[in-house]
A and B are shown apart, each in its own frame.
Chain A
Amino acid sequence: MEVRELTCIVCPVGCRARVRVEGGRAVGWEGLECRAGEEYVKREVELPLRDFFTVVRVKGGGVVPVRSTGPIPRERLLEASRELAGLEVEGPVRVGEVLVRNLLGMGVDVVATGEVEG
């Protein structure tokens, strides 16, 4: 069993929680003041997810911003970034256009969030 310290981000109080973790699950905690905080802390300990966004190179120079269509595990953020490092797209690209399907088999796509002219 280990004890992890986390900052809750649900509200400006920013409670500093100490969570007892066993087998990858939150089994007890202290320092939290509300239910929403408990929910957040549980998720963060068990399976922290993060929005993934980066930029992708455009042929001819420049970059276009992209994001994943859903959050991905925090632990795989850098992997996702490396996965897209070699990608080069060609205009035209519309906002929302899918550039990569099922990124790293995680069930999310990568879509453009900006435009590229043709």
Chain B
Amino acid sequence: MRMEREVELVVVGGGAAGLAAALRAREEGVGEVWVLDRNERAGGILPQCIHTGFGLHYFGENLTGPEYIHRFVKRARERGIVLKLETMVLELTPEREVRAVNAQDGLLKLRAGAVILAMGCRERPRGSLLIPGGRPAGIFTAGTAQRLLDVEGLLPGREVVILGSGDVGLIMARRFVMEGIRVRAVVEQLPYPGGLTRNVVQCLEDFGIPLLLRSTVTCIHGRERVEGVTVAEVDGEGRPVPGTERRIPCDTLVLSVGLIPENELSEGAGILLDGRTGGPVVDEFMRTSLEGVFACGNVVTVFDLVDHVTLTGERAGEAAARYLRGELSPPRRMREVEPGENVRLVVPQRIAEEGPVTLYLRVSRPLREVRVEVGGRSFLRKAVRPPEMVTLTLEGEEVRELGERVPVRVEGLPLER
């Protein structure tokens, strides 16, 4: 059982980025667009993000995740995009052969004219944090708990402690309370929350859920099922402070401690990755270091808003279409973007041409009275926080003025809550 053929454009991943890329490519005239996704339905993570806050920028509306992505899925069906679901891409070769498998077609070997990578990200599990204790049932990453609750309709637990105050954890705190599941605390290692202030207010403060900052879980109790966790304060280096331990009874530990772009396929193809983002090094056309291969969405870096994910997807789709038409010239003079002071990461990492460029940047700590310097240019912001990406658009002339190296740094005063 096999299928071997040429496909003009193959998109790996049918979530927000992949669908946006596929649609834009189709609009730009690409004849054959295939989207491969491992889930039983398209949409990526969005069908389980049942809360609002999506599409404020892109649609000017306040939508839930499922509503947002539904528009793209519907349009994809209408525009004749081939959607192969429950299909796992096993390998991408440097010659742009996409090897995948599914139960219908068997082994797929697709020789692609162009490939767009849109695999999104995965969650950091308990194992890689090396949290001491037992290995009982009842430990979930927030996204898995979300899937169990809001897709399968199952209860991950009845009394939860959440480790990590990233947005996914905060969102789930609210969901749990709304479903009658008790949330004992959200525990955060840093001195400030990891998610948006809006979520801290509307997910924790609204429901009186305690937020324990500068703290971590030092032990998980329970042999068969979680029975509780020990929480302790941490010092400046993240090490538990002896004597500050206290035990919180619970039957579930939910982890929201980091999202990691899923780049196994990229690595396998020899694509150059950025150690800061965990994703491919890309230019403003979302080109990776492998010819004919583009990347967009969370696989490049974890974005804060799906609206940005969609825009990077469209950029990739458009560039792929131009590439297929032979209209995307190879990069002439690559300018390298260099993250400097207070900048955790920036995408794109390279600027190939001299048209307008949008940079997405994450700061490494909260600041106010902010000046962002890109090359010689300054941009002012009232305040910036790590959970909210800073978006900067440079016009053509501004790009032309940049040197080969484009240092990006952020200056400002400390911002406390």
> Is the pair B201, A16 in contact by a Cβ cutoff of 8 Å?
no
> Is the pair A74, B417 in contact by a Cβ cutoff of 8 Å?
no
Which A residues lie within 8 Å of B52 (CB)?
51, 53, 67
Binds A, one of B271-279, B317-325, B379-387, B395-403: B379-387
Can you list 26 residue pairs at the A/B interface with Cβ under 8 Å? Answer: A7-B197, A7-B205, A9-B198, A9-B201, A12-B385, A13-B368, A13-B382, A13-B415, A14-B197, A50-B206, A54-B50, A55-B50, A55-B149, A55-B150, A57-B153, A61-B153, A63-B150, A63-B151, A65-B50, A78-B178, A95-B66, A113-B50, A113-B64, A113-B70, A114-B50, A114-B66
On A, residues with C-beta under 8 Å from B are 6-7, 9, 11-14, 16, 50-51, 53-55, 57-58, 61-63, 65, 67, 74, 77-78, 81, 95, 113-115
> Is the pair B153, A12 in contact by a Cβ cutoff of 8 Å?
no
CB of B102 closer than 8 Å to a CB of A:
no
> Is the pair A12, B382 in contact by a Cβ cutoff of 8 Å?
yes
Chain B, 131-149, contact with A by CB distance < 8 Å: what is the 0/1 string? 0000000000000000001
On B, residues with C-beta under 8 Å from A are 47, 50-52, 62, 64, 66-67, 70, 149-153, 177-180, 196-198, 200-202, 205-206, 366, 368, 381-385, 388, 415, 417
> Is the pair A54, B197 in contact by a Cβ cutoff of 8 Å?
no
With A9-B198, A14-B417, A81-B179 in contact, do A113 and B67 touch (Cβ < 8 Å)? Answer: yes
Q: A14, A63, A115: which contacts B70 (Cβ < 8 A)?
A: A115
Which A residues lie within 8 Å of B67 (CB)?
67, 95, 113
Which B residues lie within 8 Å of A114 (CB)?
47, 50, 66, 70
A11-B382, A63-B152 known, 15 other contacts, Cβ within 8 Å: A9-B196, A9-B202, A12-B384, A16-B417, A50-B206, A53-B51, A54-B179, A65-B150, A67-B67, A77-B178, A77-B206, A78-B177, A81-B178, A95-B66, A95-B70
Chain B contact residues, majority secondary structure = mixed
**A-B contact count, CB below 8 Å?**
87
Which B residues lie within 8 Å of A113 (CB)?
50, 64, 66-67, 70
